[in-house]
């Protein structure tokens, strides 16, 4: 068997007995003496294994240059390579200090206090990043987390965004936001009770809404309008009152 290589731009293709594969630069350097020479089965097998390793290692370094990874997350991102090769790459990166789950988890633990999410939601997020639940729980076990105060602070920053809405709609939107952060209903109810909502002039707002619609309204049109305003957060009694005043 003879090893031949063809280079087109930066891509180098190696061919042996009609079988072709992309050759990594490190493979070319290591096996340069075999180019255009006969190569035995044993050497070819090692060459291919090394080539897979070099490609996977380079891919891992590219990924790490953009963001930090846990060992598990990086392993999953390299799933196109054989598992035995990926394990070798992970081992080498840990050895070089490029992968450090303990250090990375500590950073995420510190970042938690700059997030609005609940501890439960943040734990799930970290599990998606490849950390094990037991390690996450251990990282947080000596840290005091006051969920009610965290949520109250998050809601206090958010409530002003809804100030032009009817009061009921303000509460609905704020509650949906709290749910999206992963908090339980008992914590949400406790935090919501401490939030100061702005009370807009809903009568004036309703009259303004009604002026946008042509008159007169027949019964189906009036019922459709009432349903629309109710979804916007106005009470049915206020809507009926405004319609009578119109």
pLDDT tens per residue, range 79-121: 999 999 999 999 999 999 999 999 999 999 999 999 999 999 9
| Contacts by 237-245, CB closer than 8 A, 24 or more apart | 238/202, 238/203, 238/206, 239/206, 241/203, 242/203, 242/206, 242/207, 242/210, 243/210, 245/207
Q: What is the C-alpha separation between 171 and 119, in angstroms, rounded?
A: 23
pLDDT tens per residue, range 43-53: 999 999 999 99
Dihedral through CA 91, CA 96, CA 102, CA 106, nearest 10?
A: -150
Q: What is the C-alpha separation between 122 and 117, in angstroms, rounded?
A: 6
DSSP state at residue 35: B
Q: Residue 153 has which token pair?
A: 């602070």
Q: In the structure, what pLDDT confidence band is assigned to residue 10 with cuts at 50, 70 and 90? A: confident
Give yes or no for residue 183 having a pLDDT over 80: yes
Q: Please determine whether the domains at 3-96 and 147-192 fall in the same fold group of CATH.
A: yes
Q: Where are the domains of the chain?
A: 3-96, 101-140, 147-192, 202-245
Where is mean pLDDT largest: 18-22, 154-158, 169-173?
Answer: 154-158
The fold adopted by the segment(s) 147-192 is: Arc Repressor Mutant, subunit A (1.10.10)
Give yes or no for residue 76 having a pLDDT over 90: yes
Instruction: Kindly report the average pLDDT of the chain as a whole number.
Output: 88
The fold adopted by the segment(s) 3-96 is: Arc Repressor Mutant, subunit A (1.10.10)
Least confident of 1-5, 69-73, 218-222: 218-222
Q: What is the C-alpha separation between 63 and 235, in angstroms, rounded?
A: 53
Coil/strand/helix, residue 232: coil
- Residue 27 confidence (pLDDT): 92
């Amino acid at each position: 068997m003879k090893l031949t290589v063809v280079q087109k731009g930066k891509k180098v293709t190696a061919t042996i007995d009609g079988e072709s594969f992309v050759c990594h630069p490190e493979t070319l350097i290591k096996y340069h003496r075999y180019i255009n020479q006969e190569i035995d089965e044993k050497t070819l097998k090692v060459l291919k294994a090394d080539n897979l390793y070099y490609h996977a290692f380079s891919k891992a370094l590219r990924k790490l240059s953009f963001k930090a990874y846990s060992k598990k997350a990086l392993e999953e991102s390299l799933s196109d390579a054989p598992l035995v090769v990926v394990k070798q790459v992970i081992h080498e990166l840990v050895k070089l200090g490029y992968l450090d789950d303990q250090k990375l988890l500590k950073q995420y633990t510190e970042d938690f206090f700059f997030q609005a999410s609940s501890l439960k939601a943040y734990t799930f997020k970290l599990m998606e990043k490849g950390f094990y639940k037991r390690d996450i729980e251990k990282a947080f076990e000596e840290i005091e987390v006051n969920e009610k105060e965290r949520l109250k602070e998050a809601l206090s920053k958010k409530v002003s965004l809804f100030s032009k809405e009817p009061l009921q709609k303000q509460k609905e939107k704020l509650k949906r936001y709290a749910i999206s952060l992963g908090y339980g209903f008992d914590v949400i109810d406790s935090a919501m009770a401490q939030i100061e909502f702005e009370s807009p002039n809903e009568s004036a707002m309703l009259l303004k809404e009604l002026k946008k619609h042509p008159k007169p309204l027949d019964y189906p049109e009036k019922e459709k309008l009432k349903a629309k305003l109710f979804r916007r957060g106005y009470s049915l009694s206020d809507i009926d009152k405004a319609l009578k005043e119109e």
